[in-house]
Structure 1
């Protein structure tokens, strides 16, 4: 039996394992048995009278790694966050967020505290509820805790843990303890809190929706997006668990991928989403498990093992199906693929046009699998798209957001760095970095586009002077819309990455290649980062809206115009001047647990070394914990309205919550030598790939046509 996988392919009766071995697997099962018994005792309300604890150990129970039930049942399960509408910021709240009702007794249970203060640094913080529990409830809680602690001590489970990255004894008073200064903060402990949040999310999914593509944490059910499921959540979260060293959970996910994941399904899927999440997730898992065997080590991944290439084999199977999307007259991929029939399909709207960002955000994945397999057609198909797009000769490197797969021409004139435009720009610089800066054409295209962004999209708000990237919905000759999707907040980090190539700013400045333009670009990155952070601070929950509008001058100030800058200390006072610069429409107030801002915080911290970016990330993380936790052990949910307290829940956990948002939080609080930025490139779904040399087999198969000063092709 493989003791690292007690619920794996060699599954036995949990009871028999418990009786016959004292291995780590047995201890793991003991934890689960204790969990089941205590829950039964709680439900019967007869802890004191029914202490004989006679029970049968179930064969299939949820993971107990990182004290799931203690945390969920006593903290998350009693959260004051509800799935219904709440009050606006000016009204007193009966509840006080996640810890309002339970923080005092949780503190007593784990910390020996009388009470835990709520946030002091949030615009709309409310005092903890003072409702007194009935005496029998308090006794039951105490007795249950004593029984559980006694059993855990008896079986020795405090001495061993399955998942080595997780603190063996969580003390949930951390969220409300006295604030640490930047100099005294223990960032590794803060990182452990992120791991705990991840395991709460994952274990809720594992318990209520295992194998399903969609998870509804409030209703505690799952749904499939295809007849047999695509492993949407499992595959997307896999490399996060490897990084976090969550070995048992990786083993369970790997088992599902091996035994249950099949792409032989008569189903249309999004070319883009399936590539960045599923193909990217499998390729990243292959990279991490093969190059960093100390991360969540599994015998199945060892060289020579029968399943050594599982992730790569699945990735190759999927890529063979997805690559049919490129079989269009122009080479621009169609929006969808029937993965069972190997058939490409045009989009159902926009006259069948594909999204520009989606057609140009497949290249990292297909180039990497080409490098791994030696299959050159993956490379050639993906790179051809870049030539077709560039041959349109757009002005100043700014592309409309739709493109026809039939002839490779753009549809419409809408230009933005939000949805359907964003990752085109991101993958320009990342393609350059992926091949160790050997494809200079992509650096040239990136620099041209960034100049275009400065010239046509950057302006400043009034009265405070935030720097924003607006939109040109009617083309570059049309008016500037002061609208920013949350998606645009990938730009600060991407700009900084483009300037230094992944080195620190201090290292890059020592090189002879450092220029005044590099200095200006870093300043733009800093200003945009502050703007993205302001969109969080403006909201009642401290969690940004999906779309934010800004107050700008008419006509808008040019990027080169002198402008004031707001202070980093964004006062939470509802009457603070900086708040006048921002507006959020009611229909845009949802928060989907998106990663772009924390992604940029991660890059900005690594590159500048400015501690404020870590602190902003920590404050953001606390807001997620406080306002998105779901009752009764459901994990976390996206929000329908993040500008009321308590917020309105959406009853959905996005897969990128696990794949991106929590991963970037983890990396933000990690030492800088974990995935060093000058050695890797991270895809748009936060899946890390290695940088590599192209070698003799691969090359840039096209050259740019001559351009004028505006980037238009000279005929």
Structure 2
């Protein structure tokens, strides 16, 4: 109940600015008073009611939404709170898939956005930082799930005791193939390749299970893997993925539309198939208008909901598609979906302390719960739909500097959203190579060698080891330089090159 109470109050404040933005007006005095009431309630909850890990997971999932909506002060406060309070050494069973997209993805996104939020970042950011270390800690808790004969992870892991020996080996394709975005980001930022390696191994193992026409077995969550695979070429600059994982034609196995599938028009727009995307979107939109939301399952032949799947948990997928299509076309039809979404959520789901999941779209009965993805995704995509000037829509006109010597351009646009709508900056992946410091050292050596050599001084009478004495790097005619003997611990990079006879260093 605590998680629901916090989440509901949290999103009540989020929906108000969206409604105001849609109507094209500024905050009214009444709206401002509601926002003030939220802040007071929010502060009471934040300072006194810490009783469950799920409470903190909601905060992690919603953290980057705070920044995107412009609340930098609260972003800073929550980020500090999470660093002080969250401990992943907890005896709790967790979904490997959900923990990755919500916790690891949420922490990585918040880490990459922290400088924009006014957080005083560490030297060398984004290659270091407390939120990055938290993401690494969370991901390490998931690694035992990948210790299988195939490399495909188990679906559940205990954060303290690893995988239960009785854990089922059955999992879905999304639970196997979607780790590549978060885990590759983590490996590139930290320099530890283990995360990207296990994610790639799992994805390759999944590909080997394909049928003769190149398809893998479908499942409810598998919408996530299609989006992930399509984004890989751009995110990792790896041309192998479109070749290895192209989808081919298949036959209809069940004439049922699932609300999770409504991401598809947005994905079509990203590859430039606007005509097909628009047609698909209007089909989904007609279902939305029929019920004021998308039921989990909708029978296409019957034109109605499927028994026991009539709920609408405030999912974001159709709103996500509307955002991408409006950005691609400027067609006001997609903006209208956003208006309809805000209106229906406000009228159907509002309760005294916020908004609730719709248990049944046929009579609009409500459930006593709300998923954190409403804060992380639905609210975010709605806001971005109505805020074309948001920094996430940046096309390269703005940027910020990062890296060990502020020589890395970040936040220049091209953000990639993970399955939970956490934006990741692909440029950041190339700022933190494990060999970056060695490359800089080599660059400094080459620059120094390009300078004119100073005349060598006669050191024949100098006492070996005398303070300040150095052997001249100049060689006499016919003289060969003797290679230095390798020793432990590992020598600096310049010494390695000197041993190989490629660069001569004076050790200064």
TM-score of the two chains, using structure 1 as the length reference: 0.51
| Residues 667, 674 of structure 1: 8 Å contact kept | no
Structure 2 residue 222 is the aligned partner of structure 1 residue 482: no
1:316 corresponds in structure 2 to: 136
1:344 corresponds in structure 2 to: 163
Structure 2 residue 247 is the aligned partner of structure 1 residue 530: no
Shift of 1:202: 8.6
Structure 2 residue 388 is the aligned partner of structure 1 residue 671: yes
| Residues 357, 369 of structure 2: 8 Å contact kept | yes
Alpha carbons of 1:207 and 1:498: their partners in 2 closer, same or farther (altered >3 Å)? farther
Alpha carbons of 1:525 and 1:490: their partners in 2 closer, same or farther (altered >3 Å)? same
Note the alpha carbon deviations across 1:655-689, whole angstroms, 9 max, x for none: 01100000000111111563138611100000000
Alpha carbons of 1:347 and 1:493: their partners in 2 closer, same or farther (altered >3 Å)? farther
- Counterpart CA distance in 2 for 1:248 and 1:610 is 35
- Counterpart CA distance in 2 for 1:196 and 1:334 is 48
Q: How does 1:243-262 map to 2 (within 5 A)?
A: 243-262=68-87
2:153 corresponds in structure 1 to: 333
Secondary structure class of the residue paired with 1:420:
helix
Alpha carbons of 1:196 and 1:617: their partners in 2 closer, same or farther (altered >3 Å)? farther
- Counterpart CA distance in 2 for 1:659 and 1:211 is 23
Of 347, 350, 354, which aligns to 1:629?
Answer: 350
Note the alpha carbon deviations across 1:515-553, whole angstroms, 9 max, x for none: xxxxxx3322111111111111011xx1221111112xx
1:686 corresponds in structure 2 to: 421
Alpha carbons of 1:195 and 1:428: their partners in 2 closer, same or farther (altered >3 Å)? farther
Of 630, 651, 657, which aligns to 2:368?
Answer: 651
Of 73, 84, 90, which aligns to 1:265?
Answer: 90
Of 583, 607, 610, which aligns to 2:328?
Answer: 607
| Residues 641, 649 of structure 1: 8 Å contact kept | yes
1:354 corresponds in structure 2 to: 171
Alpha carbons of 1:199 and 1:346: their partners in 2 closer, same or farther (altered >3 Å)? farther
Note the alpha carbon deviations across 1:12-46, whole angstroms, 9 max, x for none: xxxxxxxxxxxxxxxxxxxxxxxxxxxxxxxxxxx
Structure 2 residue 302 is the aligned partner of structure 1 residue 592: no
- Counterpart CA distance in 2 for 1:431 and 1:620 is 30
Shift of 1:383: 0.6
Shift of 1:279: 0.6
Of 212, 233, 241, which aligns to 1:432?
Answer: 233
- Counterpart CA distance in 1 for 2:107 and 2:388 is 25
- Counterpart CA distance in 2 for 1:196 and 1:426 is 40
- Counterpart CA distance in 2 for 1:675 and 1:195 is 26
Q: Higher helix proportion, which one?
A: 2
| Residues 230, 262 of structure 1: 8 Å contact kept | no
- Counterpart CA distance in 1 for 2:191 and 2:111 is 16
Shift of 1:249: 2.4
| Residues 258, 310 of structure 1: 8 Å contact kept | yes
Shift of 1:587: 2.1
Alpha carbons of 1:197 and 1:488: their partners in 2 closer, same or farther (altered >3 Å)? farther
Secondary structure class of the residue paired with 1:548:
strand
Alpha carbons of 1:196 and 1:532: their partners in 2 closer, same or farther (altered >3 Å)? farther
Note the alpha carbon deviations across 1:142-198, whole angstroms, 9 max, x for none: xxxxxxxxxxxxxxxxxxxxx9x997xx9x8x69xxxx9xxxx63x869xx999999
1:548 corresponds in structure 2 to: 298
Please say which of residues 324-333 and 687-696 is displaced more in the overlay. Answer: 687-696
Structure 2 residue 357 is the aligned partner of structure 1 residue 638: yes
User: How many pairs were matched up?
Assistant: 405
Q: How does 1:409-420 map to 2 (within 5 A)?
A: 415=218, 419-420=220-221
Alpha carbons of 1:326 and 1:494: their partners in 2 closer, same or farther (altered >3 Å)? same
- Counterpart CA distance in 2 for 1:544 and 1:456 is 24
Q: How does 1:232-247 map to 2 (within 5 A)?
A: 232-247=57-72
Alpha carbons of 1:209 and 1:254: their partners in 2 closer, same or farther (altered >3 Å)? closer
Shift of 1:240: 0.3
- Counterpart CA distance in 2 for 1:196 and 1:251 is 23
1:391 corresponds in structure 2 to: 208
Shift of 1:626: 1.1
Structure 2 residues without counterparts, runs of 5 or longer? 396-412, 435-508
| Residues 145, 153 of structure 2: 8 Å contact kept | yes
- Counterpart CA distance in 2 for 1:202 and 1:357 is 37
Shift of 1:256: 2.2
Shift of 1:281: 0.4
Q: CA RMSD in A?
A: 3.7
Secondary structure class of the residue paired with 2:64:
helix
Alpha carbons of 1:601 and 1:609: their partners in 2 closer, same or farther (altered >3 Å)? same
Structure 2 residue 109 is the aligned partner of structure 1 residue 284: yes
Secondary structure class of the residue paired with 2:359:
strand
TM-score of the two chains, using structure 2 as the length reference: 0.71
Structure 2 residue 258 is the aligned partner of structure 1 residue 456: no
- Counterpart CA distance in 2 for 1:488 and 1:598 is 12
Note the alpha carbon deviations across 1:201-228, whole angstroms, 9 max, x for none: 897666558797xxxxxxxxx973xxx5
- Greater CA radius of gyration, 1 or 2? 2
Secondary structure class of the residue paired with 2:416:
strand
Shift of 1:445: 4.3
Q: How does 1:105-116 map to 2 (within 5 A)?
A: none
Note the alpha carbon deviations across 1:203-262, whole angstroms, 9 max, x for none: 7666558797xxxxxxxxx973xxx55711100000000111213322332232022100
| Residues 60, 106 of structure 2: 8 Å contact kept | yes
Alpha carbons of 1:194 and 1:661: their partners in 2 closer, same or farther (altered >3 Å)? farther
Alpha carbons of 1:488 and 1:620: their partners in 2 closer, same or farther (altered >3 Å)? same
Secondary structure class of the residue paired with 1:651:
coil
1:421 corresponds in structure 2 to: 222
Shift of 1:323: 1.9
| Residues 333, 359 of structure 1: 8 Å contact kept | yes
